[in-house]
Structure 1
């Protein structure tokens, strides 16, 4: 689910203090299974990354896609909403007072190791990013496969496609948040000032192409313009 520059990114050769700020993101946090108060922000490794690299940490609250441990699946939505509420409370206040139905209450308890920036960004994710990549694979494979014996092209394996669509691969696919983060990362790394994307290939159905264009126009492009301080595009 995550596709922006993260802790596995190779460190630049410049001294830490001369490095420009860069965005760091954790992998998705399945908050239905985990306890936000037990370690979502209490992460010494992240604190170290912030001090050494002056990173801006960006956490991702991901909708858990695995079997829940100790949680009745019938309560899934309630548990997710409750723990997300706790996570937001932890983000907004160092001393947390909170109560819910699925974990013990907190009464003015501190959550140490606060993020460097004033307000830690949180992204809500779901199965959409993974499904988007899975849905695109057969069309990408069809697009690149040789159409005649000995013709130009090649067969893309699932492993190759996974690498290409990963955080540092060439394909811009996944959730809008992933695409936004990936474009901004490439701008930071390579100084790009224009993005050109191909959204129709390999026989993609018209609704799929339309959905991609709509997300690009209504979510990705506005977020990029806002991040770069550019004026809004045409309505």
Structure 2
């Protein structure tokens, strides 16, 4: 059965009604309430990303996830992503093993290279080592996962001689997933390791990812990896309201605020026009915006076409009023998710 969840970066862009952004502190408090509601309405996973810039509130997702673990019962708690290249893998494992204890076995790590690179100079890393840092630190993290006693010779990391790493995760096969924006080389590396993959589908037609998924699974088969452990997941931007037209109108402003802010730092991003936005929320676009039936039908189509095991709706992109976000989460859990699950249950 396909798993359905939410991803977020804890965005803090100006609200349309006031022109003011909520404080980082308020957004972090709101995230804990959103996690708890997502659990109550039966969603499968809540994932929070790491950033180090003004328009995102969360630089330490593991702390917010730990707060969310205490009053939830079923929902899995993940990063989205942990920027592994600029953090100590020992601390990453220890932090998420602690969340695993607080949640009684519901923690996951989603690691990534970091499409936002503010953390590199902040923590003293050289961007020229971008690929090497990630590859070495991922190998180190996997070594920590597989054995309590760490023996490690590092080049960009510390060397460790037969030292134990505690606490240990409750889950025997603790989930470590790798996120990518759709780079073929990244897909190949992840497949060769036999690790779960998570695609960030935030532009273009989601169907364009199908050859990557097929390549990932083919390499996994050739390497003899366990198919059940090589799951394919995706996350896409989206918003849900009771009325389709209202959802599309309301979601444009916060999405434009975020896209335009990012485009100032990235020459290959352009300020968002309304025509481009409408194309993205259309049938072949990468945004999942509308009433519950519209969003459910689009999720079903993409999950089926790509053969996804899990789908996360990034909700919202840019800041929306907290009460509206809670309504969207409730619609997702109570109306969208049941329709999607019922469809795939009928395919068995």
Match runs of 1:79-118 below 5 Å: 79-118=133-172
CA contact (8 A) 1:62 1:124 kept: yes
Q: Which residue of 2 aligns with 1:183?
A: none
Match runs of 1:124-203 below 5 Å: 124-128=178-182, 132-135=201-204, 154=249, 156-159=251-254, 196-198=296-298
Structure 2: runs of 5 or more not aligned: 9-30, 41-68, 183-197, 206-235, 258-284, 289-294, 311-343
**CA displacement, residues 122-178 of structure 1 (integer Å, 9 cap, x when unaligned):** 11013358963355899x9xxx669xxxxxx7453242699xxxxxxxxxx98xxxx
Q: Which residue of 2 aligns with 1:185?
A: none
Match of 2:309 among 216, 220, 227: 220
Give the CA RMSD over aligned residues: 4.7
Q: Distance in 1 between matches of 2:167 and 2:249?
A: 49
How does the TM-score come out when normalised to structure 2? 0.38
SS of the residue aligned with 1:198? helix
CA contact (8 A) 1:21 1:54 kept: no
2:79 aligned with 1:26: yes
2:6 aligned with 1:3: yes
Higher percent of residues as helix: 2
How does the TM-score come out when normalised to structure 1? 0.53
**CA displacement, residues 64-88 of structure 1 (integer Å, 9 cap, x when unaligned):** 1233233333322111110000010
Aligned residues: 170
Change in Cα spacing, 1:4 to 1:155, as seen in structure 2 (3 Å) is closer
Structure 1 ranges of 4+ moved more than 6 A: none
Change in Cα spacing, 1:30 to 1:88, as seen in structure 2 (3 Å) is same
Higher percent of residues as strand: 2
Which one has a bigger Cα radius of gyration?
A: 1
Q: Which residue of 1 aligns with 2:128?
A: 74
SS of the residue aligned with 2:171? coil
**CA displacement, residues 76-134 of structure 1 (integer Å, 9 cap, x when unaligned):** 21111100000101111111101121122111111112111112101101335896335
SS of the residue aligned with 1:75? helix
How far has the Cα of 1:61 moved from its partner? 0.8
SS of the residue aligned with 2:141? helix
Q: Which residue of 1 aligns with 2:187?
A: none
Change in Cα spacing, 1:158 to 1:93, as seen in structure 2 (3 Å) is farther
Structure 1: runs of 5 or more not aligned: 147-152, 163-172, 180-194, 200-208, 222-229
Q: Distance in 2 between matches of 1:133 and 1:106?
A: 39
Q: Distance in 1 between matches of 2:154 and 2:173?
A: 24
Q: Distance in 1 between matches of 2:163 and 2:80?
A: 26
2:176 aligned with 1:119: no
CA contact (8 A) 2:99 2:107 kept: no
Q: Distance in 2 between matches of 1:155 and 1:43?
A: 37
